[in-house]
Structure 1
């Protein structure tokens, strides 16, 4: 729980009663590897904070291939936030790549804190902006060659490389698993 509070305090000040209110508004969950935090075809209903483990955001393309859009590791928010806010059905999945521990706000709890904590909306908006920025900024640049995309991946996700299957990384980079193996061999 301390890691969540430390994360939130990066974005604004809270007094002890506000911190206690946040702690009372969340639940801790564990997801086994392969279990979904959020699924396509459903309206997202929660915001998570990753305490331990790695999640991946992914979707199916028009050819039915699963495409990894992002990885979400410790000390990061996990949410399909645009669809949560707009109460729309998601087209993406958020799935545990490893066994995970999360601290979770229901949508009602997440939004309800605005009524009890004067600066919550500002803090919440800053957290969401960072979350959205990280997801958009960390996507591979299609115009880069595969080796450059891989090096960028290592820079952006150093903690993920040894924790998730190579097929997810290959999918994220837009290369085959065999190509990724060659790239890794040539760079090492």
Structure 2
């Protein structure tokens, strides 16, 4: 795996062996960013289930100012830290070593781009978006990108956001919510 485009484009990403994380493939990540961007003019990104950190690193590579990555798995945290170090721009990244729900309760400010790729997609995505909205963490121009198995059907609207785009790539489905 590697960073697809932008400032860090072409640099390799480490991933965790085994089934505890499901890294987004380069092909799906590239298609996802073409769908939502593909480049950004600043802003904050939040990745609640960081895995290898690839999505957040790609977003910063493509122009986001800073990223907050949340990961509870200790082995995945070590991979995230190695991948952040590879960027040589460590100050643009913060890794919170905790569960998503705890992170939401501790976060401050607003986020322009949010990635949700949880292990138990539908219920967790709905609960996470509702909690983020209730805590005032969604920027006015927020874009929430959810990656699920293609069989998962997400609601048309959750809290203050609704589906803007949805596309299937192989076994994965990408759903983008906006205000």
**Which structure has the higher relative contact order (CA within 8 Å, separation 6+)?**
1
Q: Normalising to structure 1: TM-score of the pair? A: 0.28
Q: Between Structure 1 and Structure 2, whose CA radius of gyration is higher? A: 1
The structure where strand makes up a greater share of residues is: 2
Q: Normalising to structure 2: TM-score of the pair? A: 0.29
